Amino acid sequence: MQFPTDIFISYAHIDDESLIQNQKGWISEFHRALDIRLAQLLGRRPVIWRDDSLQGNHVFDKQIVDQFAKVAIMISIITPRYVKSEWCIREVDEFYNTSQTNIGFTVSNKARIFKVIKTPVRIEQHPEKISGVLGYEFYNTDPGTGRVKELSQAFGNETERLYWEKLDDLAHDISSFLESLELPLAATSSNQSPITANGQSADKVFLAESSYDTQDFRDSLKRELQGYGYHILPDKQLPLIAKPLNESLISNLSEAVLSIHLLGENYGVVPEGAQKSIVEIQNDVAASYSAANSIPRFIWIPEGCEPGDDRQISFIDKLNSGKEGIAGADLVQGSLEDFKSVVIDKLNSMKKEVKKEEEQPEIYDESSKIIYLICDLSDIDEIRPLEDFLFDNGYEVVIPIFEGDESGIREDHIENLKTCSAAIIFFSNANELWLRSKTRDFLKINGYGRAKPLAFKAIYIAPPDSMSKQRFRTLDAEVINALNGLPEEKLKSLLSKI
């Protein structure tokens, strides 16, 4: 359905008053910039309307409300004055009510009111009808002082860059929404998956809310994923009360093909009734959900991350140790651009798997006896006695590949974990960081989409001897002590489980 007017901008008059004499106000500049960027994205000039004759003492104008039936989208500029204005609140309510009489308030699960937060206001003070709508935050918070600074074209290079990035995000989302209205109504039903520009159903990715120091990273990754056609969840404001938050997270995760969590130096907001931050809660819920439903996950820690909060230090230490919150996840540390590549490679790999299964479903042979012998390149010669023993006892032995790009090697490793009957980590000359990394993969195996549990997981401790090897033990896998030679009876006992 098409509307004569694309956008109505709802705002409080005082928020368009300029601090600098003879300079346009924030709302006027926002209107101008949005008009130009949307025209570039849509290929036509958008019809944007706002009442620029507003005065603080104006009474509510029924003539404005009468126009709402002709408007596709409202943009609400949230500020302290806006949420205190009876006029502004009534505009939201009236647009919401009018939308129910035509195509509804949501289309493809997206609200027809876009919330631009110019100045932070507590969520409970937002207009009730849009309290659950995600906002576009046109401000940032100084990590040192906690002071909020509005994004503007007039406050310096860095603030100006962030302003244009945020406006570009908003323009892309509005452009996509307006284009979706031109699709047949059945294709944009709120009960169906979101539709991409080419008319295809969009896969959904859960991109967890993050602390404010990683918000720019999250926005950048969100922008990248949307550019590849993915629909980002959560697409509504997460509750800041423990019980409804958990319910909302499970609902979101049930729709997603991948879960992504970004960690930083700050711990994040602690919801009402909770003991942990929203960042840690999201990860805990996703870990439990992944263990039960095999949804793959990524956890990213930026390079050079040095948290000062004891709670955040403890949280990251638990993840690094692989004991809590890591189920189904790859823990990635490095630059954001490298992380983006890893995520996109994973999503592309998942699409290929789905396509392969649709074209020719893979038959899982439960009678096969494949053992994945995981080793480091430095131990390729040392594994020969164990490899020969397994083969002589009737087992096919698969070892890792060591040549090719990092993404391909990782993909082969995951595929081996998915299809083998059992897995053994061979620990000889490699260092303990390598061992810890491979052991964590055992914890993530459900998230890789494995069809059935491994018959056994084992760590084979081979010479050279060391104090740390003698003391090594774990509850996550069987430990095979081969420091004094090949333990045939122990191996045969394990093999009997296949």
Bridge partners, residue 76, by sequence? 10, 115
Distance (Å, rounded) from C-alpha 413 to C-alpha 371?
A: 13
Output the pTM of the full model.
0.63
CB 259, CB 295: distance < 8 Å: yes
Half-sphere exposure of 238 (CA within 13 A, CB side): 28
Distance (Å, rounded) from C-alpha 474 to C-alpha 436?
A: 11
Is the predicted pLDDT of residue 295 greater than 50, yes or no? yes
CB 454, CB 423: distance < 8 Å: yes
What is the location of CATH 3.40.50.10140 in the chain?
1-193, 203-362, 370-495
Is the predicted pLDDT of residue 340 greater than 60, yes or no? yes
Domain spanning 370-495: CATH superfamily = Toll/interleukin-1 receptor homology (TIR) domain (3.40.50.10140)
- Asked: is 1-193 a CATH 3.40.50.720 domain? The reply is no
Here the tokens at position 484 are: 């004094």
What CATH number belongs to 203-362?
3.40.50.10140
Of 261-265, 276-280, 356-360, where does mean pLDDT reach its minimum? 356-360
DSSP SS3 for 27: helix
Distance of CA 498 to the CA centre of its chain: 37
Q: What is the pLDDT of residue 366?
A: 47
Q: Give tens-digit pLDDT for 408-465.
A: 898 899 899 989 999 999 999 999 989 988 988 887 776 666 767 889 999 999 999 9
Q: What is the pLDDT of residue 60?
A: 53
Is the predicted pLDDT of residue 53 greater than 80, yes or no? no
Higher pLDDT, 93 or 109: 93
* 169, burial (CB in 10 Å: exposed 0-12, middle 13-18, buried 19+): middle
Is the predicted pLDDT of residue 308 greater than 60, yes or no? yes
Distance (Å, rounded) from C-alpha 132 to C-alpha 115?
A: 10
Mean pLDDT taken over the chain: 87
Q: Give tens-digit pLDDT for 65-105.
A: 888 999 999 999 999 999 999 989 999 999 999 999 999 99
